[in-house]
């Protein structure tokens, strides 16, 4: 007999099991609360977009486009892609729906799944989730600082303590071309000391060499020219003001002259936020973002300054789960009543009564699928409920119900139509 192979989730994609749902909900609820305070509006874009959107915006020579994007042909022949990030889709929606005609700036936030075909590892998946905040139509450096502050506050709300902000400016179309020439000249003379990927990047996207994590490239990268020394006056002034705003709100940061981010649409400010250990070690980046003033124009819209960032939900949850193992388990919410029933008629009446408790906002539990009264009362005791409501065949026929105080064991029979008010009265004592 041939054994049927076990079906599993695709490599790098994971189920979010009930035990993890509370972590996701906590992160999303915190993000929504912060978005509401800062005046950001929710936007949802399709999981699938034209592949050209990402090729145009992210850049043909980036790792995302070259190696990681899920691309496929539809039956109609369209070349589509699963979204690898949020910004391009939101920029497309901004143009498509004529939102440049609305009073600017516009503030958007979104969260949900993204897809990248990369090597799965701890906290990194092929289907993953992010929280994204974007501001369109504002060129002031104060927005750069506020985006950083929003994500810093988000992580602080989630009880992250040892946060490290790294920040840099990568210039714009005025000053970056000259810097790229300097960079190419520097790395070309040391090409043999670079990894294979960086030798290829040298021809197509030299800035990405600064983002390389290969140990072989680190000594060469450390001596490379720094872009902050070659910024034009406008970019230098913009960056200086961003740092002054961060100083004003006393948000700690560290200048990283080799931080460039991995997407071509960034201009001027780029930043990342890390979870630093108590020993001062830098972990993985939890947040990354920056300014992308040329993106909307690149996609066919008007010249629109913009800034934004995204946080990796799985990486955040990984830290939250590790922390929860060390801390005592959070208290379980105790229900006020447990509805126990016995017999077909009692089960039908219990189903209706349970809905009445929901409408009355009385927290309730039940075991409608169980028939043994003893088993149900054992479940009520284990759950620590204050009152068990017992509805047997006799009570169902007589229109009554038994209220048992689970602490004292005392029981009282009341009319079923009065049980809601009776429980409300007891809960107020």
Superfamily assignment of 337-422 in CATH? Anticodon-binding domain (3.40.50.800)
- Is 87 marked as a binding-site residue? yes
pTM of the full structure: 0.83
Between CA 250 and CA 256, with CA 253 as vertex, the angle to 5 degrees is 160
Residue with the two structure tokens 């740092």: 243
In angstroms, the CA 374 to CA 121 distance is: 47
Mean of per-residue pLDDT scores for the chain: 89
Confidence at residue 15, expressed as pLDDT on a 0 to 100 scale: 92
3-state secondary structure of 309: strand
For the record, the structure tokens of 32 come out as 């929504």
In angstroms, the CA 32 to CA 41 distance is: 9
- Is 315 marked as a binding-site residue? no
Helix 196-204 to helix 176-188 angle, to the nearest 10 degrees?
A: 140
- Is 261 marked as a binding-site residue? yes
Confidence at residue 4, expressed as pLDDT on a 0 to 100 scale: 63
- Is 104 marked as a binding-site residue? no
3-state secondary structure of 203: helix
In the CATH scheme, what is the code of domain 18-175+231-326?
Answer: 3.30.930.10
Backbone angles phi, psi at 341, to 5 degrees: -140, 160
Which residue stretches of 119-195 are H helix?
141-157, 176-188
- Is 348 marked as a binding-site residue? no
Q: What is the pLDDT of residues 365-404, one digit of tens each?
A: 888 788 788 888 888 888 888 898 898 889 989 999 999 9
Domain residue ranges of the chain, discontinuous segments joined by +: 18-175+231-326, 337-422
Confidence at residue 280, expressed as pLDDT on a 0 to 100 scale: 45
Cis before 370 (ω within 30): no
- Is 265 marked as a binding-site residue? yes
Q: What is the pLDDT of residues 298-338, one digit of tens each?
A: 999 999 999 999 999 999 999 888 887 766 555 556 788 88
Confidence at residue 212, expressed as pLDDT on a 0 to 100 scale: 85
3-state secondary structure of 157: helix
- Is 130 marked as a binding-site residue? yes
Confidence at residue 106, expressed as pLDDT on a 0 to 100 scale: 98
Between CA 373 and CA 378, with CA 374 as vertex, the angle to 5 degrees is 115
Question: Which residues of the chain fall below pLDDT 70?
Answer: 1-5, 122-123, 277-282, 326-333
Name the β-bridge partners of 338.
365, 388
Residue with the two structure tokens 């008629």: 345
Backbone angles phi, psi at 322, to 5 degrees: -65, -40
Cis before 105 (ω within 30): yes
- Is 86 marked as a binding-site residue? yes
Instruction: Say if strands 267-276 and 400-405 run parallel, antiparallel, or are unpaired.
Output: unpaired
Alpha-carbon torsion (12, 18, 23, 28), positive or negative: positive
Confidence at residue 234, expressed as pLDDT on a 0 to 100 scale: 95
Which residue stretches of 64-174 are H helix?
87-96, 141-157
Residue with the two structure tokens 């079923």: 416
Confidence at residue 279, expressed as pLDDT on a 0 to 100 scale: 46
Which candidate, 168, 176, 388, places its Cα nearest to that of 260? Answer: 168
In angstroms, the CA 318 to CA 123 distance is: 6
**Number of neighbours of residue 22 by Cβ within 10 angstroms:** 13
In angstroms, the CA 361 to CA 286 distance is: 38
Phi-psi label, residue 137: left if phi above 0, alpha if psi -120 to 50, beta otherwise = left
- Is 116 marked as a binding-site residue? yes
In angstroms, the CA 273 to CA 338 distance is: 46
Between CA 282 and CA 285, with CA 283 as vertex, the angle to 5 degrees is 105
């Amino acid at each position: 007999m041939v054994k049927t192979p076990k079906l599993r989730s695709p490599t790098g994609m994971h189920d979010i099991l009930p035990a993890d749902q509370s972590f996701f909900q906590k992160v999303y609820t915190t993000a929504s609360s912060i978005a509401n305070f800062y005046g950001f509006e929710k936007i949802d874009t399709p999981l699938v977009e034209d592949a050209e959107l990402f090729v145009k915006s992210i850049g043909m020579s980036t790792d995302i486009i070259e190696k990681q994007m899920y691309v496929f042909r539809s039956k109609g022949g369209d070349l589509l892609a699963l979204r690898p990030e949020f910004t391009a889709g939101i920029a497309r929606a901004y143009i498509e729906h004529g939102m440049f005609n609305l009073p600017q700036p516009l503030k958007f936030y979104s969260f949900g799944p993204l897809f990248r075909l990369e090597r799965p590892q701890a906290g990194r998946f092929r289907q993953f989730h992010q929280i994204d905040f974007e501001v369109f139509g504002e060129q002031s450096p104060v927005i750069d600082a506020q985006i950083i502050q929003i994500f810093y506050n988000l992580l602080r709300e989630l009880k992250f303590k040892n946060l490290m902000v790294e920040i840099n400016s990568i210039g714009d179309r005025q000053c970056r071309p000259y810097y790229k020439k300097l960079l190419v000249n520097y790395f070309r003379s040391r090409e043999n000391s670079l990894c294979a990927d960086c030798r290829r990047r040298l021809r197509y996207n030299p800035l990405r060499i600064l983002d390389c994590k290969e140990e072989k490239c680190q000594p060469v990268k450390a001596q490379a020219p720094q872009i902050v020394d070659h910024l034009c006056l406008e970019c230098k002034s913009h960056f200086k003001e961003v740092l002054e705003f961060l100083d004003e709100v006393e948000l700690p940061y560290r200048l990283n002259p080799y931080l460039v981010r991995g997407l071509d649409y960034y201009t001027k400010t780029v930043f990342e936020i890390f979870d630093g250990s108590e020993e001062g070690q830098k972990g993985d980046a939890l947040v990354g973002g920056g300014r992308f003033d040329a993106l909307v124009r690149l996609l066919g819209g008007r010249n629109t300054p913009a800034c934004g960032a995204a946080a990796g939900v799985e990486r955040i949850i990984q830290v939250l789960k590790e922390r929860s193992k060390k801390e005592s388990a959070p208290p379980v919410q105790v229900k006020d009543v447990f509805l126990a029933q016995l017999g077909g008629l009692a089960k039908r009446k219990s189903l209706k009564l349970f809905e009445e408790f929901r409408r009355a906002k009385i927290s309730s539990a039940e075991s409608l699928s169980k028939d043994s009264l003893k088993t149900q009362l054992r479940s009520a005791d284990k759950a620590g409920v204050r009152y068990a409501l017992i509805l047997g065949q006799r009570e169902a026929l007589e229109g009554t119900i038994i209220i048992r105080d689970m602490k004292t064991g005392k029981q009282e029979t009341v009319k079923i139509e009065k049980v809601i008010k009776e429980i409300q009265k007891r809960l107020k004592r």
